Amino acid sequence: MTRSPAARVGAAFERATAERRAALVGYLPAGFPSVDGAIGAATAMARAGADIVEIGLPYSDPLMDGPVIQEAVHRALEGGVHVTDVLRTVEAVTTAGAPALVMTYWNPVDRYGVAAFARDLADAGGCGLITPDLPPDEAGPWLDAATAFGLAPVFLVAPSSSDERIKLITAACGGFVYAASVMGITGARAAVSGAAAGLVERVRQYTKLPVAVGLGVSTGAQAAEVASYADGVIVGSAFVQRLLRASDEDAGRLAVADLAAELAVGVRQAV
């Protein structure tokens, strides 16, 4: 029987659990350093050890993104990236063997048409949508579309979330729960927030879905630390930084693959 898109996300976490490790979830925005360059980097990430890949949909007002991702998104928009390019990137990652989700602010999906976006994402092989600025109690149309097309709706919890909010958010999630380890914008940090472990413990009181921690991880050692208490380790800005620092697209692709390999070792060496 063919798995639904959302079920492919769950299967990736199940494989990681069977191997006694956390899953590695990597993020890159579509269209940077070019559409083809982003596809090359994202597929290299998948082949080098990322279990799940998040593809960012570039947006003109990325309020929750730090300067690294903001810079990459700005360049992607200047390059003329479109939603169709995002979907093409998703399709390439899926072909490379990793479940792919789109991370996006809500406005572009709303403009595109919620049902149409869900349909086209599923047609491209995508598994779901991560919506950092859309709370589940305002997500009725998206939840309906996700159900219709078998997609995973992934929502965020934060250290500031009350138990009541965590219960509400986790009940609406599919695939996994995204636990933001710190308050504020994205970005690699010297140390992962000490609040992350406590947040994971709180979330697990309300759901049996995997809990993946993001915001701040940039090294294999940090990945190992987070993997000791979370089901998944999400890394974004560190990958984007590799592309920003690269001399050309080939060098960027190799740098992304090297970091994915380092992090893949890290999630297997939980401390």
**Hey, which residues are catalytic here?**
54, 65
CA distances to 6, 163, 172, 237 from 150, rounded to whole Å, are 6, 28, 14, 29
φ and ψ of 114, to 5 deg:
-60, -50
At 51, list the tokens: 């279990």
CA distances to 12, 55, 231 from 172, rounded to whole Å, are 20, 21, 18
Look at strands 152-154 and 156-157 and give their pairing.
Answer: unpaired
Q: Any residues with CB less than 8 A from the CB of 62 and at least 6 apart, and which?
A: 69, 70, 73, 105
Distance CA 178, CA 155 (A): 6
CA distances to 147, 179, 187, 245 from 190, rounded to whole Å, are 39, 19, 10, 18
Q: What share of the chain is helix, strand, coil (3-state, %, to 5)?
A: 50, 15, 35
The answer to whether 169 and 136 are in contact (CB under 8 A) is yes
